[in-house]
């Protein structure tokens, strides 16, 4: 039998037992499919829970040694302490972001954290382009009109993307894919990222600029950076004042990259000409759920939904077959590597 490593020493019998929180049907389907396709020695025991991970639901993992959670689960210090006392030594994130995890507390407790750093970046980049095209050419409005047999074109005038300037904040794998697509449309691509790769810029055909120049020069702005203390509310009242009139903003990164109330005010003043977001600062209590029969109590989101030049989707940019397969494969491989080797290439360390 394979030897699995935990903080309690080597165990030649116990198979890794994983509590998977915040699960939907597709999580169950893809994780189960990938797990059963693995060699027997690499398979894990999966227990699925629909509940989000929090202080109350953490008890559900009492028979497990690993917790698998998603971007909207709150892995706070309190949650981590409770999980640690239950014998949990690994948090396996089935997402790229890790701002929802108290990494310092995890490190102090000896609980390791692994993530999925990249899963079909094309999926998110292509969805970002879809939002850009829909917003720019008012496809969402045309769709609703024609369903009511209204085929008039008044109010549907858009703009060519060709020749326009698009500013990218964040040049990771998703940002690179997005830049390549934008170049295919004949756009002038400028980008801001703390880490510059001039050879990459030359090969794709974009230009690195300062953060302020993104705001001053761009007709369109697309956010692809991680959420850090430095990038939180990078779109705010001050940065909006630097932007062109009628600028359009796309966000498929993290909700808190945008100071939502500042954007609402800019939309009301027509400073911002359009907004398309797949993420929202307060999404954890709303997204991935059907609340269509309930009263929407989030006044800021309700105000956003009232604008005709705003498109909101429910964090679905990643949602393709290829991405779900990649997420499941990487998540299970992360668990296997950590349990057998005591380390993992996708481990997240406190900064």
User: Lowest-confidence range among 5-14, 172-181, 195-204?
Assistant: 5-14
Q: Is 294 a known active-site residue?
A: no
Contact (Cβ atoms closer than 8 angstroms) between residue 155 and residue 174: no
Contact (Cβ atoms closer than 8 angstroms) between residue 78 and residue 52: no
pLDDT at 1 over 90: no
- Provide mean pLDDT across the span 263-284: 96
For 191-201, the pLDDT digits (tens) are 999 999 999 99
Element (H, E) at 275: strand 272-277
Contact (Cβ atoms closer than 8 angstroms) between residue 30 and residue 48: no
Q: What is the pTM of this model?
A: 0.88
d(CA 336, CA 343): 10
Q: What is the pLDDT of residue 96?
A: 85
Q: Is 254 a known active-site residue?
A: yes
Neighbours of 305 (CB within 10 A): 12
d(CA 339, CA 344): 9
3-state helix, strand, coil in the chain (%, to 5): 40, 15, 45
Phi, psi (rounded to 5 degrees) for 10: -75, 140
* Best CA proximity match to 124, nearest among 221, 18, 9, 252: 252
Q: Is 147 a known active-site residue?
A: no
**Pairing mode, strands 272-277 and 66-69:** unpaired
User: Lowest-confidence range among 32-41, 194-203, 337-346?
Assistant: 337-346
Average pLDDT in the chain: 94
For 91-149, the pLDDT digits (tens) are 999 998 888 999 999 999 999 999 998 888 999 999 999 999 999 999 999 999 999 99
Instruction: Kindly provide the b/e burial profile for residues 340-350, where b requires at least 16 CB atoms within 10 angstroms of the residue's own CB.
Output: beeebebebee
Distance spanning both ends of the chain, measured CA to CA: 37
Instruction: Kindly provide the b/e burial profile for residues 28-45, where b requires at least 16 CB atoms within 10 angstroms of the residue's own CB.
Output: eebbeebbeeeeeebbbe
CA dihedral (18, 287, 247, 257) positive or negative: negative
Q: Exposed, middle or buried: residue 139 (CB in 10 Å: 0-12, 13-18, 19+)?
A: middle
Which residue is catalytic, options 94, 115, 224, 315?
A: 315
Which residue is catalytic, options 81, 254, 259, 281?
A: 254
* Tokens 């077959």 -> residue: 321
326-329 long-range contacts, CB within 8 A, separation 24+: 326/116, 326/118, 326/119, 326/120, 327/30, 327/94, 327/95, 327/116, 327/119, 328/30, 328/31, 328/33, 328/34, 328/35, 328/94, 329/34
d(CA 16, CA 66): 7
Which residue is catalytic, options 105, 259, 281, 283?
A: 283
Percent of the chain at pLDDT > 70 equals 96
Q: What is the pLDDT of residue 55?
A: 93
Element (H, E) at 10: strand 9-11
* Best CA proximity match to 94, nearest among 122, 121, 113: 113
pLDDT at 291 over 80: yes
d(CA 193, CA 208): 8
């Amino acid at each position: 039998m394979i030897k699995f490593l935990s903080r309690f020493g080597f165990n030649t019998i116990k198979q890794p037992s994983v509590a998977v929180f915040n699960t939907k049907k597709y999580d169950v389907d893809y994780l189960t499919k990938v797990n059963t396709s693995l060699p027997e020695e690499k398979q894990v025991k999966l227990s699925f829970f629909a509940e989000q991970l929090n202080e109350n639901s953490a008890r559900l993992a009492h028979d497990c040694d690993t917790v698998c959670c998603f971007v909207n689960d709150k892995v706070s210090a309190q949650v981590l302490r409770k999980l640690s006392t239950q014998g949990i030594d690994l948090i396996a994130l089935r997402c790229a972001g890790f701002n929802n995890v108290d990494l310092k507390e995890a490190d102090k407790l000896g609980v390791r954290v692994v993530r999925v750093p990249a899963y079909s970046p094309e999926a998110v980049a292509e969805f970002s382009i879809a939002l850009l095209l829909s917003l720019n050419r008012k496809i969402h409005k045309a769709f609703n009109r024609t369903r009511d047999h209204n085929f008039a074109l008044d109010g549907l005038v858009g703009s060519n993307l060709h020749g326009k300037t698009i500013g990218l904040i964040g040049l990771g794998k998703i940002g690179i894919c997005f830049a390549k697509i934008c170049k295919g449309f004949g756009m002038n691509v400028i980008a801001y990222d703390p880490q510059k790769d001039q050879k990459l810029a030359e090969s794709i055909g974009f230009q690195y600029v300062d953060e302020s120049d993104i705001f001053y020069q761009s007709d369109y702005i697309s956010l692809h950076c991680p959420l850090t203390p430095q990038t939180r509310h990078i779109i705010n009242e001050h940065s909006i004042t630097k932007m062109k009139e009628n600028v359009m903003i796309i966000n498929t990164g993290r909700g808190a990259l945008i100071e939502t109330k500042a954007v609402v005010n800019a939309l009301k003043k027509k400073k911002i000409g359009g907004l398309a977001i797949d993420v929202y600062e307060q999404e954890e209590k709303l997204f991935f759920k059907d609340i269509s029969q309930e009263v929407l109590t989030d006044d800021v989101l309700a105000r956003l939904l009232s604008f005709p030049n705003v498109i909101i989707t429910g964090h679905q940019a990643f949602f393709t077959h290829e991405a779900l397969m990649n997420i499941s494969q990487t998540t299970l491989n992360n668990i296997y590597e950590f349990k057998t080797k005591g380390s993992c290439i996708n481990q997240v360390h406190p900064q």
